[in-house]
């Protein structure tokens, strides 16, 4: 089963998080997971994917304008409707809007007809509420990102296991 992770990223944090999610997805048998920056998406791979996870840095506590318009322009075209959907975010501050970013991505996914999944409390600890968020207070240096690696991998693994179960 193919699964895609699509992200925007200017300074590399969200890219790193996307790759950790695909790493976790790849731990599930028979899953082929790939991450794509919004400017270089393999459209055939995404169309064939049973699940798509979308991620964005927090910009003024919102998803970036670029990923918003990417989703507006491509969600329908790439057949998001009926796929399993998930979301993640990176931010600079603890209260920097990561959850709001995730909620708005999930809203767009649902508008497209996706079935959204976070794992949430049903998966036990760590309880990933709406989706994983990394707080990188060191900006481009990425120093804080490693702390979140395991959470992103676990999210990816849970998402892939659910996709294999239900899709
Ligand atoms: C224009 C701009 C706006 C930002 N706004 C926020 C914000 O509202 N809250 C926050 O916590 N971080 C904010 N940040 C920081 C980024 O969300 C954070 O550094 C993120 O990890 C960058 O992701 P990237 O490395 O994938 O580009 C902003 C950064 C930029 C460049």
The model's pLDDT over 116-155, given as tens digits with 9 standing for 90+, comes to 999 998 999 999 999 999 999 766 666 689 999 999 999 9
Instruction: Quickly list DSSP for 50-107.
Output: SEEEEEEE-BTTB--HHHHHHHHHHTTTTT-TTSEEEEEEEESSTTSSHHHHHHHHHH
Report DSSP state, residue 120: G
* Region of residue 139 (phi > 0: left; psi between -120 and 50: alpha; otherwise: beta): left
Query: How does residue 62 score in pLDDT terms, banded at 50, 70 and 90?
Result: very high
**pLDDT digits over 64-96, tens only?**
999 999 999 999 999 999 999 999 999 999 999
The mean of the pLDDT values for the chain is 96
Q: Quote the ligand 1 centre to 134 CA distance (angstroms).
A: 11
- Residues 12-17 have a mean pLDDT of 96
pLDDT at residue number 39: 98
pLDDT at residue number 69: 98
Beta bridge partners of 5: 35, 53
Q: Could you tell me if 120 and 129 are in contact, meaning their C-beta atoms sit under 8 angstroms apart?
A: yes
Among 3.40.50.360, 3.40.50.460, 3.20.20.140, 2.40.128.20, name the CATH number for the domain at 2-166: 3.40.50.360
pLDDT at residue number 133: 97
**pLDDT digits over 94-107, tens only?**
999 999 999 999 99
pLDDT at residue number 45: 98
pLDDT at residue number 144: 84
Residue ranges lining ligand 1, Cβ < 6 Å: 9-15, 57-61, 90-93, 96-97, 136, 139
Of all protein residues, whose CA lies closest to atom 8 belonging to ligand 1?
60
Q: Quote the ligand 1 centre to 104 CA distance (angstroms).
A: 16
Atom of ligand 1 nearest to the CA of 11: 25
């Amino acid at each position: 089963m193919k699964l895609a992770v699509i992200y925007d990223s200017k300074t590399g944090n969200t890219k790193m998080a996307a790759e950790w999610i695909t790493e976790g997805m790849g731990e599930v048998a028979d899953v082929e997971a790939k991450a794509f920056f919004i400017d270089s998406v393999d459209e055939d791979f995404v169309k064939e994917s049973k699940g798509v996870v979308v991620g964005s840095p927090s910009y003024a506590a919102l998803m970036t304008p670029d990923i918003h318009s990417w989703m507006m322009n491509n969600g329908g075209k790439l057949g998001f409707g009926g796929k399993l959907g998930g979301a993640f975010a990176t931010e600079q501050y603890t209260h920097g809007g990561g959850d709001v970013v995730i909620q708005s991505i999930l809203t767009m996914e649902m508008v497209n007809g996706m079935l959204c999944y976070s794992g949430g409390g049903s998966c036990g600890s760590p309880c990933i509420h709406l989706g994983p968020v990394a707080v990188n207070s060191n900006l481009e240096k990425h120093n804080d990102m490693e702390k979140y690696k395991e959470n992103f991998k676990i999210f990816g693994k849970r998402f892939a296991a659910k996709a294999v179960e239900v899709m």
